[in-house]
Structure 1
Amino acid sequence: MKFSKLVLPGVTMIAVAYGLARFSFGLLLPAINESMEMTDSTSGIISSLFYVAYCVTIIYATVMTTREGPRRMIIFAGLSAFLGLFLMAVTPNVWVLGLGVLLAGGSTGLVSPPYGGAVSLWIKEKQQGKANTWINSGTGFGIALSGLGAILLTPHWRITYAIYAVLALFILIWNYKVIPEMDTGSGSKLMFKKGNLSLQGAKGSTNLVIASFILGFSTAAFWTFSRSFIEAAGDYNNVLLSGFWVMIGIFGVLGGFSGSMIEKGGLPFAYKIGSLAIASASIILALAPENLLTAYLSAGLFGCAYIFLTGVLLVWGIRVFIKNASLGIGVPFLLLAVGQVIGSSLAGMFIETWGYALSFTLYGFTGLAAAFIGPRK
């Protein structure tokens, strides 16, 4: 299969699942709270459903991709994103909203492992690293698009989600037509060999697990509270606040070059650069959150480093679990999410006790510690 024939629909599906179905919720939440009269505790519980759904579905997707191949999980991911966005657009109450959030969040877990399997099946070995990291960079495109949507349509969050649902449906149809059928027998379709789900004998898996968890923990404060931080510290209007999010997405697209850096500098070098950069973003924001230039610099650095680093973890995981690409993506991405769940919960407590600046500095130094637990040559 041609590189672009798989990568382009993959980029757009990742953009829908991560950018539109998942990360757009935080930007639209103030308007949703106002129109649906939700309390902070209710919105907090609903927001946590994204993480719950992600952790459950990424395990399911890893197992099913290993057994049946990538096509079915990719289609399920697109269908889950579409249904989730549609329910969020038409929701009459918080219960339907919560169901929509579960489906939208579940799409992110469903979509990552099967694309790793698809790349390993249909892309030439020399191009697989680039293919995986560029597909992963779709998150940046989605975040940028969700930020623009927040700027243009924030008061009209139902219309926003309706537009996102239509986009998700078109991209689902595109992937349905592009991703080939699998065959576990002796037919004319591509033969799929079942992978191995065992973690035994995978060299470097311990470091991969620890590093993924710490990086997830260290980025949780930025994902959850950075917008609130600059809103409390400076005189920013809604356009500038949404622009902060757009910066994360636009520069996140540059993270797609992680595959090229891995090829030129090696995996350990790319990992160390990424972890140092993402830690610096939190520390820079803590220094001068009231300054627009500093805030946007921090957002751009974080977006680029996060997508870059998830691309590095993706390649690292596939190299560790060399016989099962979906497991190689599922393990680090699951641990990244677990770290974010715990890190986000603790960040709220830290901010109430110590304030934003000290808490973000603490999370930044945690990210620095992750730089020393990287892959070996």
Structure 2
Amino acid sequence: MATTYGVVRYGFGLQLPQLSAELGIDAATAGLVAAGAFASYCLVALLAGRLVLRRGARPVLWLAATLGATGAALVATAPSVPALAVGVVVGGGAAGAASPALVVAVGATVSPGVHADRAQAVVNAGTGVGVLLAGSVVLAAPLAWRPMWWAAAVASVVTATVVDRAVRWPSVVERVARGPDAATSEVSVAVPVGLALLAGAGSAAVWTFGRDLVVGVGGLGERTGALLWVLLGVAAVLGALSGDAVRLLGLRGAWAVTATGSAAGTWLLAAAPGHVPVAALGCVLFGGSYTALSGVLIAWAAALRPENAGATTARLFVALTAGQALGAAAVGALVAVTGQRMTFLVAGALLLLAGGLALGLTSAAARPRPDAPETPGATGTLAG
């Protein structure tokens, strides 16, 4: 997760100021490239969800490793913007395969119940570790973006090898026949899908243009911008607490809190991109809240479809990333019209809307399915 999400998927936004200076990428083009990476994620995640059911999770892990290594290598050697775009788009698909594979791996390796919820949240928080590492590299050597992508290519293969040997892979997941509650279940899944789309659109501003905002608009130095990204990564590791947040607040409450926190972080960056303490607080709020928000989606998938949580997680993460794809393209276009700060205010409003809607729309989605097996802490997890 640290490699495919934190470095390969979000590394483009981190290094956008340097890439713009060296290769001449403008805001609209950057938005389209980011949108392409998000779209690639969606396509691969949909494929991965099917492969998990038909072939098992292990081949999906290696699909993630192959895409991550190939995409990172293409970025590392890119001589032009089109070549760079191809690498970013190919690498963006790696994370789409990683999530469903690792959800199944954790579910088969860790005892069910509270420990499994925490383990899923901890693995998901690996995104923050990757953001932290990538930000640290930029902080130490702002111009060395190509070596970082070469390291990501190697790490994609090495980490997949370690995971492959460390977990217990289940046999091919059986496709469970749909019962009479199938229609109700589809309605329930539709609610988090819609909320994830909205939250994804709102989050695209920070992930794609966050560092560019504080450096280009706020006037902060390259190293200061990288340090803020490191803070974002450190805070994102706190997303490991999302499993406990769901048990304490319920799915609706945890989603509302994390979406609102993401909105607050986005607004703080827009309010004072050149004021380091405010921008730092914005990065911390966004990093921790967004990663926890994605962890809530994993818990939601397990609650709605415990028999195929990997495929359902892929579906919800596709919705989140589809929103990011649309949001990245819209943000890139809107920046040219209203400027980055106003665009970030709009993005924060979308996140706040996603959090508010959760409190009124998810009562049905938060109920366990009649045929869902009870697990320790289930009542706390699903309570609204």
Q: Tell me if both proteins adopt one fold, taking TM over 0.5 as the criterion.
A: yes
* More divergent stretch after superposition (237-246 vs 40-49): 40-49
**Does the CA-based 8 Å contact 1:71-1:180 persist in structure 2?**
no
Residues 157, 357 of structure 1: alpha-carbon distance in 2 compared, 3 angstrom cutoff: closer
- The aligned counterpart of 1:353 is 337
TM-score by length of 2: 0.85
Q: Secondary structure of the equivalent of 1:290?
A: coil
Residues 64, 54 of structure 1: alpha-carbon distance in 2 compared, 3 angstrom cutoff: same
- The aligned counterpart of 2:374 is none
Amino acid at match of 2:158: F
- The aligned counterpart of 1:189 is none
The structure 2 residue matched to 1:340, chosen from 316, 319, 324, is 324
% identical equivalent positions: 26
**Does the CA-based 8 Å contact 2:204-2:324 persist in structure 1?**
yes
Residues 91, 355 of structure 1: alpha-carbon distance in 2 compared, 3 angstrom cutoff: closer
Amino acid at match of 1:278: S
Residues 268, 136 of structure 1: alpha-carbon distance in 2 compared, 3 angstrom cutoff: same
- The aligned counterpart of 1:193 is 174
Q: Distance in 2 between matches of 1:350 and 1:65?
A: 38
Asked if residue 137 in structure 1 is aligned to residue 125 in structure 2, the reply is: yes
Q: Distance in 2 between matches of 1:350 and 1:246?
A: 27
Q: Distance in 2 between matches of 1:96 and 1:168?
A: 20
Aligned pair count?
357
- The aligned counterpart of 2:371 is none
Amino acid at match of 2:7: L
Shift of 1:367: 1.7
Asked if residue 251 in structure 1 is aligned to residue 232 in structure 2, the reply is: no
Amino acid at match of 1:318: A
Task: Report 1:89-128 matches (<5 A).
Answer: 89-92=76-79, 96-126=83-113, 127-128=115-116
* More divergent stretch after superposition (87-96 vs 226-235): 87-96
Shift of 1:358: 2.9
**RMSD of equivalent CA atoms:** 2.4
Q: Which has the higher contact order (CA 8 A, sep 6+)?
A: 2
- The aligned counterpart of 1:6 is none
**Does the CA-based 8 Å contact 1:66-1:194 persist in structure 2?**
yes
Shift of 1:76: 1.7
Amino acid at match of 2:62: I
**Does the CA-based 8 Å contact 1:68-1:194 persist in structure 2?**
no
**Does the CA-based 8 Å contact 1:235-1:290 persist in structure 2?**
yes
Task: Report 1:1-377 matches (<5 A).
Answer: 14-36=1-23, 45-92=32-79, 96-126=83-113, 127-183=115-171, 192-195=173-176, 200-202=183-185, 204-374=188-358, 375-376=362-363, 377=384
Q: Distance in 2 between matches of 1:33 and 1:352?
A: 15
Q: Distance in 1 between matches of 2:134 and 2:244?
A: 27
Shift of 1:53: 1.3
**Does the CA-based 8 Å contact 2:245-2:254 persist in structure 1?**
yes
Amino acid at match of 1:365: A
Residues 129, 197 of structure 1: alpha-carbon distance in 2 compared, 3 angstrom cutoff: farther
Q: Secondary structure of the equivalent of 1:266?
A: helix
Query: Unmatched 5+ residue regions in structure 2?
Result: 364-383
Q: Distance in 2 between matches of 1:45 and 1:365?
A: 22
Deviations 1:245-298 (A, max 9, x none): 111111000011010121233222212211111111122223222211001100
* More divergent stretch after superposition (342-351 vs 329-338): 342-351
Amino acid at match of 1:206: A
Shift of 1:229: 2.2
Amino acid at match of 2:237: V
TM-score by length of 1: 0.86
Residues 303, 102 of structure 1: alpha-carbon distance in 2 compared, 3 angstrom cutoff: same
Q: Distance in 2 between matches of 1:362 and 1:25?
A: 22
Shift of 1:173: 1.7
**Does the CA-based 8 Å contact 1:117-1:325 persist in structure 2?**
yes
Shift of 1:45: 4.5
Residues 42, 222 of structure 1: alpha-carbon distance in 2 compared, 3 angstrom cutoff: closer
